[in-house]
Amino acid sequence: MKLLIQNSKNQDIVSKLIDKLEGWWDAIVLKLPNVAIAIAVLIISYFLANFLGNLLLKILTKRMQNQSIRRLLAKALRIIILMGGFFIALGVLDLDKALTSILAGAGVVALAIGLALQSTLSNTFSGVMLSFLPNLKIGDYVETNDQGGYIHEISMRNLVIKRPDGQFVIMPNSKFIEEPFVNYSVIDRGRITVSCGVAYGTDLHSVKTMVTEKMKTAFPQNKNESIEFYFTTFNNSSIDFIVRFWVDFVKKGQMYAAQDKAILLINDLFNENNIEIPFPIRTLNVSKEQLGNVNKIFNAPRESE
């Protein structure tokens, strides 16, 4: 009797197991079209990601000089497309709960990574922004509050500036983009100012006319440009003036060369016309009594040692 009961229980377990396996098999058979579609979605996503990534890389090559940023953006596009295909495949397989868990976990991981790499991500995004600035490219001469030189490289984290003395300055992208900077290479002409002074008693009208005409001859001005001459200050020993004019320059060396030329021209012009460029002089008014006391001090006999 006991053997019959035991056999009956074993038969029930086997039958339940068989029913369970048959149910799984039926579910697998029913899901086969969905599995095929999910696999097709993943394959299509892979090829689409590669195609669009390569296409974006070609487009960026024509518009962006930074190779590392180009590769980063192309790789980011590939990852986004692959992730989109992966989530679509999960939806096709009716794995909504798994999809929700993955998205929640990805959000937590992304938040943790963002907090941990805040400075690095800031430099990376700043590098991307610098790469898309139309008025900033490799070889431009720029000046910030602290540094000046030619842009040598723009990477994902740093901007490298080659100074005129040959030294390289590595500056974080975020610092460079947050500070004001001057790009001398944006336009091919700029205004230069040269200051000087003449002695009191000089004919100021003649000085203004001579210097202005000399600058017009040496530095031709384009349309809507002109030589500007202004007397500015009654100084201690001179009457100071500035002269401003436009020249072609896209780097500091060209600006210095134009300043040098203008200073030499003004100096030669003043020498030819006997116009004095004074240097600081201090006049001391000394009374005869004070002068006598000074003479007594210097003429006093020295004590023998």
Residue ranges of domains in the chain: 8-116, 136-183, 189-272
More confidently predicted of 164 and 65: 164
Q: What angle do CA 245, 165, 67 make, to 5 degrees?
A: 95
Dump pLDDT digits (tens) for 250-280. Answer: 888 888 999 999 999 999 999 999 999 887 7
Q: What is the pLDDT of residue 245?
A: 93
Residue 248 to residue 220: CA distance in whole angstroms: 10
Residue 153 buriedness (CB in 10 A; 0-12 / 13-18 / 19+): middle
Residue 228 to residue 212: CA distance in whole angstroms: 8
Residue 183 to residue 141: CA distance in whole angstroms: 6
- Of the options 2.60.40.740, 1.10.287.1260, 2.30.110.10, 3.20.20.10, the CATH number for the domain spanning 8-116: 1.10.287.1260
Answer yes or no: CATH 3.30.70.100 is held by domain 189-272.
Answer: yes
Displacement of CA 301 from its chain's centroid (Å): 73
Q: What is the pLDDT of residue 305?
A: 45
User: Residue 254: what residue type?
Assistant: Q
Dihedral angle computed from the Cα positions of residues 20, 26, 27 and 33, in that order, rounded to the nearest 10 degrees: 160
CATH architecture of 136-183: Roll (2.30)
- pLDDT at position 116 over 60: no
Sign of CA dihedral 200, 206, 210, 211: positive
All residues at 6 or more sequence positions from 71 whose CB lies less than 8 Å from its CB, including other chains: 57
- pLDDT at position 302 over 60: no
All residues at 6 or more sequence positions from 84 whose CB lies less than 8 Å from its CB, including other chains: 45
Residue 12 to residue 295: CA distance in whole angstroms: 136
Closest CA to 233 of 192, 204, 263: 204
pTM for this entry: 0.56
Three-state SS at 21: helix
- pLDDT at position 193 over 80: yes
